[in-house]
Structure 1
Amino acid sequence: MTAIPRVLSIAGTDPTGGAGLQADLKSIGALGGYGMAVTTALVAQNTRGVREVHVPPVAFLTAQLDAVSDDVEIDAVKIGMLQSVEIIAAVRAWLDRTRPPIVVLDPVMIATSGDRLLDTAAEEALHGLCREADLITPNLAELAVLTGRPQAETWPAAISAARRLHRSTGATVLLKGGHLAGGACPDAIVGPDGVHEIAGVRVATRNTHGTGCSLSSAMATLRAQGATWPEALARAKEWLTGALTHADALRVGGGNGPIDHFHELRRGTQARPRPSLWSREVWDAAAVVRDDVDACAFVRGLADGSLPGEAFRHYLAQDAIYLGEYSRLLARASTLAPTADEQAFWARSAESALVEELRLHEGHLGADADRDPAPQTLAYTNHLHASTRSYGELVAALLPCFWLYTDLGSRLQSARRDGHPYDDWLAMYGDPTFAEATARAVSIADAAARDAGPRERARMTDAFARSMTHELRFFEAPLEVPARPAELSPVL
Structure 2
Amino acid sequence: MSGGSSVPRVLAIAGTDPTGGAGIQADLKSIAASGGYGMAVVTALVAQNTRGVRSVHVPPTDFLAEQLDAVSEDVTVDAVKIGMLAGREVIETVGAWLRRTRPPVVVIDPVMIATSGDRLLDADAEQALRELLPLAHLITPNVAELAVLAGRAPAARWPDVLEQAREVSATHDVVVLAKGGHVEGDAVPDALVDGGGTRLGGREVVEFPGARIATTNTHGTGCSLSSAVATHRARLGSWEPATAEAKRWLTESIRHGASLEVGGGNGPISHFAGMWSRGGTATRPTAEEVRDQWWDGVRDVRAAIAESAFVRGLADGSLSKEAFGVYLAQDALYLRDYARVLSEASRLAPTLDEQSFWAAGAHGALVTELQLHADWLGDMEPPPPGPATTAYLDHLLATAARGDHRVLAAAVLPCYWIYADLGRDLQARAVDGHPYQEWLRTYGDPAFAEATARAIDITTELATSADDVTREAMWHAFRVSAEHELAFFEAPLRMTGPVPS
Q: Could you say which residue in structure 2 is the equivalent of 1:214? A: 224
Q: Could you say which residue in structure 1 is the equivalent of 2:115? A: 112
In 2, the alpha carbon distance for the partners of 1:91 and 1:227 equals: 24
Are residues 83 and 196 of structure 1, via their aligned partners in 2, closer, same or farther at CA, if it must alter by over 3 Å? Answer: same
Q: Could you say which residue in structure 2 is the equivalent of 1:236? A: 246
Following superposition of structure 1 onto structure 2, how do residues 453-464 of structure 1 map, counting pairs within 5 Å?
none
Q: Could you say which residue in structure 2 is the equivalent of 1:136? A: 139
The one-letter amino acid of 2:274's match is: E
Are residues 213 and 52 of structure 1, via their aligned partners in 2, closer, same or farther at CA, if it must alter by over 3 Å? Answer: same
- The answer to whether structure 1 residue 73 and structure 2 residue 76 are counterparts is yes
Aligned partner (choices 48, 62, 87) of residue 90 of structure 2: 87
Which secondary structure does the structure 1 equivalent of 2:135 belong to? coil
Following superposition of structure 1 onto structure 2, how do residues 125-164 of structure 1 map, counting pairs within 5 Å?
125-164=128-167
- Cα drift, residue 2 of structure 1: 8.9
The one-letter amino acid of 1:131's match is: P
| % identity of equivalent residues | 59
Q: Deviation digits for residues 8-52 of structure 1, max 9, x if unmatched? A: 000000000010000000001111111000000011111111111
Are residues 296 and 263 of structure 1, via their aligned partners in 2, closer, same or farther at CA, if it must alter by over 3 Å? Answer: closer
Which secondary structure does the structure 2 equivalent of 1:51 belong to? strand
Following superposition of structure 1 onto structure 2, how do residues 23-422 of structure 1 map, counting pairs within 5 Å?
23-191=26-194, 192=197, 193-268=203-278, 291=351
Q: Is the 8 A contact 1:294 1:300 kept in 2?
A: no
Following superposition of structure 1 onto structure 2, how do residues 471-482 of structure 1 map, counting pairs within 5 Å?
none
In 2, the alpha carbon distance for the partners of 1:162 and 1:3 equals: 33
The one-letter amino acid of 1:27's match is: S
The one-letter amino acid of 1:249's match is: S
Q: Could you say which residue in structure 1 is the equivalent of 2:417? A: none
Which secondary structure does the structure 1 equivalent of 2:206 belong to? strand
In 2, the alpha carbon distance for the partners of 1:145 and 1:263 equals: 34
Q: Could you say which residue in structure 1 is the equivalent of 2:389? A: none
Which secondary structure does the structure 1 equivalent of 2:125 belong to? helix
Structure number with larger C-alpha Rg: 2
Which secondary structure does the structure 2 equivalent of 1:4 belong to? coil
Q: Could you say which residue in structure 1 is the equivalent of 2:7? A: 4
In 2, the alpha carbon distance for the partners of 1:16 and 1:251 equals: 12
In 1, the alpha carbon distance for the partners of 2:133 and 2:250 equals: 24
Are residues 291 and 24 of structure 1, via their aligned partners in 2, closer, same or farther at CA, if it must alter by over 3 Å? Answer: closer
Bigger shift: residues 192-201 or 66-75: 192-201
The one-letter amino acid of 1:213's match is: C
Which secondary structure does the structure 1 equivalent of 2:244 belong to? helix
- Cα drift, residue 228 of structure 1: 2.1
Unaligned runs of 5+ in 1: 271-286, 305-418, 424-429, 431-492
Q: TM-score, normalised by structure 2?
A: 0.55
Following superposition of structure 1 onto structure 2, how do residues 440-455 of structure 1 map, counting pairs within 5 Å?
none
Q: Is the 8 A contact 1:9 1:25 kept in 2?
A: yes
The one-letter amino acid of 1:268's match is: R
Q: Deviation digits for residues 371-416 of structure 1, max 9, x if unmatched? A: xxxxxxxxxxxxxxxxxxxxxxxxxxxxxxxxxxxxxxxxxxxxxx
Which secondary structure does the structure 2 equivalent of 1:267 belong to? helix
In 1, the alpha carbon distance for the partners of 2:8 and 2:177 equals: 21
Are residues 51 and 295 of structure 1, via their aligned partners in 2, closer, same or farther at CA, if it must alter by over 3 Å? Answer: closer
Bigger shift: residues 164-173 or 227-236: 227-236
In 2, the alpha carbon distance for the partners of 1:177 and 1:295 equals: 50
Q: Is the 8 A contact 1:43 1:52 kept in 2?
A: yes
- Cα drift, residue 229 of structure 1: 1.1
Q: Could you say which residue in structure 2 is the equivalent of 1:392? A: none
In 1, the alpha carbon distance for the partners of 2:47 and 2:62 equals: 22
In 2, the alpha carbon distance for the partners of 1:183 and 1:295 equals: 51
Q: TM-score, normalised by structure 1?
A: 0.56
Which secondary structure does the structure 1 equivalent of 2:13 belong to? strand
In 2, the alpha carbon distance for the partners of 1:294 and 1:251 equals: 47
Are residues 47 and 182 of structure 1, via their aligned partners in 2, closer, same or farther at CA, if it must alter by over 3 Å? Answer: same
- Cα drift, residue 170 of structure 1: 1.4
The one-letter amino acid of 1:88's match is: I
Are residues 241 and 2 of structure 1, via their aligned partners in 2, closer, same or farther at CA, if it must alter by over 3 Å? Answer: farther
Q: Deviation digits for residues 334-383 of structure 1, max 9, x if unmatched? A: xxxxxxxxxxxxxxxxxxxxxxxxxxxxxxxxxxxxxxxxxxxxxxxxxx
In 2, the alpha carbon distance for the partners of 1:35 and 1:295 equals: 38
Which secondary structure does the structure 2 equivalent of 1:42 belong to? strand
Which secondary structure does the structure 2 equivalent of 1:180 belong to? coil
Name segments (4+ residues, structure 1) moved above 6 Å: none
Q: Is the 8 A contact 1:27 1:217 kept in 2?
A: yes
In 2, the alpha carbon distance for the partners of 1:114 and 1:185 equals: 20
Which secondary structure does the structure 1 equivalent of 2:80 belong to? strand
Q: Deviation digits for residues 116-164 of structure 1, max 9, x if unmatched? A: 1111111111111110001100001111111112211111111111111
In 2, the alpha carbon distance for the partners of 1:71 and 1:52 equals: 33
Q: Is the 8 A contact 1:175 1:187 kept in 2?
A: yes
In 1, the alpha carbon distance for the partners of 2:96 and 2:244 equals: 32
The one-letter amino acid of 1:55's match is: V
The one-letter amino acid of 1:195's match is: V
In 1, the alpha carbon distance for the partners of 2:204 and 2:156 equals: 21
In 1, the alpha carbon distance for the partners of 2:266 and 2:155 equals: 25
- Cα drift, residue 218 of structure 1: 0.4
Which secondary structure does the structure 2 equivalent of 1:90 belong to? helix
- Cα drift, residue 230 of structure 1: 1.5
Unaligned runs of 5+ in 2: 198-202, 281-346, 365-445, 451-456, 458-501
